[in-house]
Amino acid sequence: MEVNDALVDKLANLAKLKFDALEKEEIKSDLQKMIAFVEKLNELDTTGVKPLLHMTDEVNVLREDEVKGSISREAALKNAPLHDEQFFKVPKVIKK
Amino acid sequence: MSTKDLYEIVVGLEVHAQLLTKSKLFCGDSIAFGQEPNIQVSPITLGHPGTLPKMNRRAIECAVKMGLACHCEIERYNYFARKNYFYPDLPKGYQVSQHTTPICKSGFITIKSGNSAKLIRLNRIHLEEDAGKSVHDADIHNTCVDYNRAGTPLIEIVSEPDLRSAEEVYNYLTEIRKIVRYLGVCDGNMEEGSLRCDVNISVRRKGDEKLGTKVEVKNLNSIRNARRAVETEAERLIGLIEKGETIIQQTRSFDAGNGTTFAIRDKEDADDYRYFPEPDLTPFNLEEEFIERIRREIPQLHTERISKYVNEYKLSEYDAVILTEEKSFSDYFEDLVTFARDYKASANWMAGPVKSWLNDNGNEIENFPLKPERLSALIQLVNNNKVSFTVASTKLLNALLGDASKEPLQLATELNLLQESNASAIEPIIEQVISKYADKVKEYKKGKKGLLSLFVGEVMKLSKGKADPKLTNDLLTEKLNS
């Protein structure tokens, strides 16, 4: 798989990140290496092997419909970079 | 024939119904509506590292119940997928949704179309979590986010593009709302956002095989607005085609204020959600036994009740529809007829005085002060000619609503409302009326027979509604024709 500018731009857009030209070159080369690393797996013949979707064999791990486990608002907001007493705050996401 | 008539509207709907659980889909936060912001949140809702979601059993039951009621196939082997996108109201950066294995597949919903019934095929019903809520106008510099709603269990009901008019869209949504409310899987409260829908709409020349380019109108929060949005959007699309312009595949929003739609984004920057199986949740398998248990829990739906009322109770279709509008109202009627046995009279009482009282008081049948047994006693009084319907449905009903502890007969006696079915008591009043309207009597005798109702009305008035109308009628006719 070829990592080109278009792919990096697309990923940057999906991840809502911005890079300058220098960073983009670096990312291109890093990404290329990562993909090459993973592509090694293609050397294995996996015909007839079902995809492994989950890392355990457990199924039906369900909970009852009970209200519990909420934390206080103060604790919820504590780690947010921007907040007031009630809300998490983020840059305006709508143009008016 | 107008230009509009040359086109056919093709609509498919995605309806989101909030499930009637107490807690969220993957954690124990409450999903109560209208609470202070950010108090129904846990580290799982907020997507903190190291947290593990766990599936709510009741949400699965609700989804299966809806699927069975809509004649769907139930998926035995389920797992969730992550739908990845960035938006502040989505704390984890992905929505957990049954992208690959929807819990219910195919199926259909029967709706009214004109005077006939029409099947609207379903593509799927799947489970997913709701997002939080962004508040854009509380702070001039920032968007404020409330995560109380994030993680609330939803089912998304996806139809095939089988709807052909705004009216059908309206009927389809009305039908879904009734089904979820009868099943008790969603409260159907559109003002609170418990039921919302996205409309996929395209238009094509009648007779064309190929579908037109579709436009999606998102987040319609009332059945009426969905109908309006389809009407305006179809008109706009037809206008574009008529002007020779190309329709772009778009996501639009409906402005209920001025009844127009506006573009929010073009589909050119096509969504790329990079779905993959959610590794944090175990798959869940549904056993036959479980599905059968849910099937047994499905109550009689409005459609079955309508056919029972029409075929067995011999009520009109119109009455049957009114009676089954709300499950609780229909439940009351079901109770009432076990006492009253007179289906027609019971239906008239429900659709008439009872419904008016509920409307006037903005109340629900659950809070109607008279229990079915007591109301049936009142109906009995009318059927036995003890009290006229008019008096029973006004004075006596009001008195009973004020003092629900008393028996209707007792109260009618106390208030002197019992009907006069004794000729000797009515005759003097008739004499009085005849002498008061001597000239009208002459006209009557000359052939103006329609005046009879005037005389009857006068007798009823003077007797304060207590004269037996049939007897009055007979006595009057006899007297006037003698």
**Are B143 and A92 a contacting pair, CB within 8 Å?**
yes
Q: Do A67 and B29 touch (CB under 8 A)?
A: yes
Chain A residues within 8 A of B44 when measuring between CB atoms: 69
Q: Which of B226, B256, B290 is the last residue of a domain?
A: B290
Dist CA B226 CA B166 (whole Å)? 8
Residue B93 has pLDDT above 80, yes or no: yes
Question: Domain range for residue B429?
Answer: 423-480
Higher pLDDT, B370 or B388: B370
B295 inside domain = no
Task: Say whether both B84 and B26 belong to one domain.
Answer: yes
Task: Say whether both B233 and B345 belong to one domain.
Answer: no
B352 inside domain = yes
Task: Say whether both B123 and B170 belong to one domain.
Answer: yes
Task: Say whether both B184 and B265 belong to one domain.
Answer: yes
Domains and CATH numbers, chain A: 5-41 (1.10.20)
Q: Select from B38, B141, B279 the Cβ nearest to the Cβ of A73.
A: B38
Q: Which of B290, B324, B345 is the last residue of a domain?
A: B290
pLDDT band at B275 (very low <50, low <70, confident <90, very high): very high
Q: Name the least confident of B5-9, B329-333, B376-380, B412-416.
A: B412-416
Q: Which of B358, B385, B414 is the last residue of a domain?
A: B414
Could you give the angle at the alpha carbon of B52 between the alpha carbons of B47 and B53, nearest 5°? 85
Mean pLDDT of B10-22: 97
Give per-residue pLDDT as tens, A12-55: 888 888 889 999 999 999 999 999 999 998 899 999 998 888 98
Mutation to test the A interface, candidates B19, B24, B36, B41, most A Cβ within 10 Å:
B41
Mean pLDDT of B241-264: 91
The alpha carbon dihedral of B306, B309, B310, B315 has a sign of: negative
Question: Could you tell me if A22 lies within 8 Å of chain B, comparing CB atoms?
Answer: no
Dist CA B107 CA B404 (whole Å)? 47
What are the phi and psi torsion angles at B303 (to 5°)? -65, -40
> What's the pLDDT score for residue B455?
86
Question: Which residues does B154 contact at the CB level (< 8 Å), separation at least 6?
Answer: B16, B17, B18, B19, B25, B127, B128, B129, B130
DSSP state of A16: T
CA distances from A63 to B56, B57, B65, B152, B305 (A): 5, 6, 18, 15, 35
Task: Say whether both B63 and B141 belong to one domain.
Answer: yes
Residue B269 has pLDDT above 70, yes or no: no
Dist CA A75 CA A88 (whole Å)? 12
> What's the pLDDT score for residue B239?
94
> What's the pLDDT score for residue B420?
67
What are the start-end ranges of the H helices in B184-242? 223-242
Nearest 10 degrees: Cα torsion A5, A8, A12, A13: 60
Q: Do A59 and B27 touch (CB under 8 A)?
A: no
Distance from CA of A45 to the nearest CA of B (A): 22
> What's the pLDDT score for residue A74?
97
Q: Do A62 and B39 touch (CB under 8 A)?
A: no
Other C-beta atoms lying within 10 Å of the C-beta of residue B374: 16
Q: How far is CA B196 from the centre of its chain?
A: 13
Task: Say whether both B405 and B432 belong to one domain.
Answer: no
pLDDT band at B270 (very low <50, low <70, confident <90, very high): low
Mean pLDDT (chain B) is 91
Task: Say whether both B247 and B383 belong to one domain.
Answer: no
Chain B, nearest residue to A77 by Cα: B38
Strands B250-255 and B215-220: parallel
Q: Name the least confident of A19-28, B104-113, B168-177, B425-434.
A: B425-434
Structure tokens at B373: 């047994």
Structure tokens at A53: 């979707």
Mean pLDDT of B106-112: 96
Dist CA B395 CA B372 (whole Å)? 19
Share of chain B above pLDDT 70, in %: 98
Dist CA B405 CA B462 (whole Å)? 31
B233 inside domain = yes
Task: Say whether both B363 and B284 belong to one domain.
Answer: no
Mean pLDDT of B421-440: 81
Task: Say whether both B266 and B367 belong to one domain.
Answer: no
B73 inside domain = yes
The interface predicted TM-score of the complex, written ipTM, equals: 0.88
B121 inside domain = yes
> What's the pLDDT score for residue B38?
98
DSSP state of A93: -
> What's the pLDDT score for residue B349?
93
B444 inside domain = yes
Task: Say whether both B309 and B429 belong to one domain.
Answer: no
Residue B429 has pLDDT above 70, yes or no: yes
Dist CA B110 CA B70 (whole Å)? 9
Q: Do B136 and A70 touch (CB under 8 A)?
A: no
Helix then strand then coil, in percent of chain A rounded to 5, is: 40, 5, 50
Q: Name the least confident of B104-108, B295-299, B406-410.
A: B406-410
> What's the pLDDT score for residue A66?
98
Q: How far is CA B132 from the centre of its chain?
A: 26
pTM (two decimals): 0.85
Distance from CA of A11 to the nearest CA of B (A): 10
Task: Say whether both B243 and B329 belong to one domain.
Answer: no
Residue A96 has pLDDT above 80, yes or no: no
pLDDT band at A95 (very low <50, low <70, confident <90, very high): low
Residue B1 has pLDDT above 70, yes or no: no
Q: Do A69 and B22 touch (CB under 8 A)?
A: no
Structure tokens at A50: 């079902």
> What's the pLDDT score for residue B445?
85
Number of A to B CB contacts under 8 A, please give it.
136
Chain B residues within 8 A of A71 when measuring between CB atoms: 41-43
Question: What CATH number should be reported for the domain holding residue B473?
Answer: 1.10.10.410
Mutation to test the B interface, candidates A10, A63, A64, A79, most B Cβ within 10 Å:
A63
Give per-residue pLDDT as tens, B374-411: 999 889 888 887 888 888 888 888 888 888 778 888 88
Question: Could you tell me which of A61, A35, A2, A39 has the C-alpha nearest to residue B282?
Answer: A61
**Are B247 and B230 a contacting pair, CB within 8 Å?**
no
Q: Tell me the residue type at B121.
A: R
Q: How far is CA A37 from the centre of its chain?
A: 19
DSSP state of B396: I
Counting Cβ atoms within 10 Å, is residue A79 exposed (0-12), middle (13-18) or buried (19+)? exposed
Residue A67 has pLDDT above 60, yes or no: yes
Dist CA A56 CA A63 (whole Å)? 18
Share of chain B above pLDDT 90, in %: 69
Task: Say whether both B163 and B37 belong to one domain.
Answer: yes
Top-ranked range on mean pLDDT: pick from B85-89, B422-426, B467-471: B85-89
Q: Tell me the residue type at B317.
A: E
Residue B447 has pLDDT above 90, yes or no: no
Residue with tokens 């709701």: B130
Q: Select from A60, A66, A92 the Cβ nearest to the Cβ of B143.
A: A92
Dist CA A68 CA A73 (whole Å)? 15
> What's the pLDDT score for residue B268?
55
Question: Could you tell me if A75 lies within 8 Å of chain B, comparing CB atoms?
Answer: no
Q: How many domains does chain B have?
A: 3
Residue B70 has pLDDT above 90, yes or no: yes
Q: Name the least confident of B261-270, B287-296, B436-445, B455-464.
A: B261-270
Distance from CA of B300 to the nearest CA of A (A): 25
B400 inside domain = yes
Structure tokens at B273: 């959600």
Counting Cβ atoms within 10 Å, is residue A44 exposed (0-12), middle (13-18) or buried (19+)? exposed
CA distances from B83 to B94, B254, B275 (A): 5, 25, 5
Mean pLDDT of B322-344: 93
